[in-house]
Amino acid sequence: MCTPVPIAIALGSNLSSELGTPVDILNAAIERLRQLPQLDRLEVSSWYRTAPIGPAQPDYINGCAIALVAVTLDPHQLLQNLHHIEADCGRVRTQHWGARTLDLDLILWGDRIIATPTLTVPHPRFRDRAFVLVPLAEIAPQWRDPQTQATIATLAARCPDTAIVQASRLPSTMSRHPVKEQA
């Protein structure tokens, strides 16, 4: 029997859709991730309100999920599944780094390093992004980045990203996951 591999997925949304607000969309995405038969023991961080990096656009709601995946699943297949969930939640690919109803990025796949035309893991920008590192540090602080050997907690503490806002908390009734302000 093969040992399952831990994976980390980052979620972000800054546009509403017919599913509701960005928080509703992230919650819907989590439900869809839970339904993927290849993922086991899904854990989800709090949702954080963050300032946009890139062109002028609304604030984001960001968070992270970790899960165990059977080693028989190819990372590209999981990326396809993530793209299907994005499309299901109304994502249309327009401007690079622009506003979106849902962005699902594959951040880590165990200690694998993957570099293909369609998939780079660890995600090439995750070490610079507090909107990924802070939620991930909440649920996987001791996970080591296979490229730098630093733990997620260390990367989060070092992250120079000051573009994160300290916005007001969303009412907790809007989310089954609490929304936090980024410290």
Residues that bind ligand A4P (CB under 6 A): 12, 50-54, 60, 62, 79, 93, 96-97, 103, 105-106, 118-121, 123, 125, 131
Q: Which is nearer to Mg ion, 102 or 156 (CB)?
A: 102
Query: Which partner, ligand A4P, Mg ion, none, binds residue 123 by CB below 5 to 8 Å per kind?
Result: ligand A4P
Number of H helices, E strands in the chain: 4, 8
Specify the residue for token string 């793209």. 83
Which residue in the list 91, 127, 129, 145 is annotated as catalytic?
91
Please confirm, yes or no, whether 91 is among the known catalytic residues: yes
Query: For Mg ion, how many residues bind (rule: CB under 5 A)?
Result: 2
Of 105 and 145, nearer to Mg ion (C-beta) is 105
Backbone angles phi, psi at 85, to 5 degrees: -65, -40
Contact 104, 11 (CB under 8 A): yes
Strands 60-69 and 120-121 come out as unpaired
State yes or no: is 100 an active-site residue: yes
- For Mg ion, the binding residues in 80-109 under the rule CB under 5 A are 103, 105
CB of 1 to ligand A4P, least distance (A): 28
Shortest distance, position 138 Cβ to ligand A4P, whole Å: 16
Q: Which of 15, 129, 132 is nearest to 63 (CA)?
A: 132
CA dist 74 to 20, 41, 71, 126, Å? 32, 18, 7, 21
Residue ranges binding Mg ion (CB under 5 A)? 103, 105
| Residues taking part in catalysis | 91, 100, 103, 105
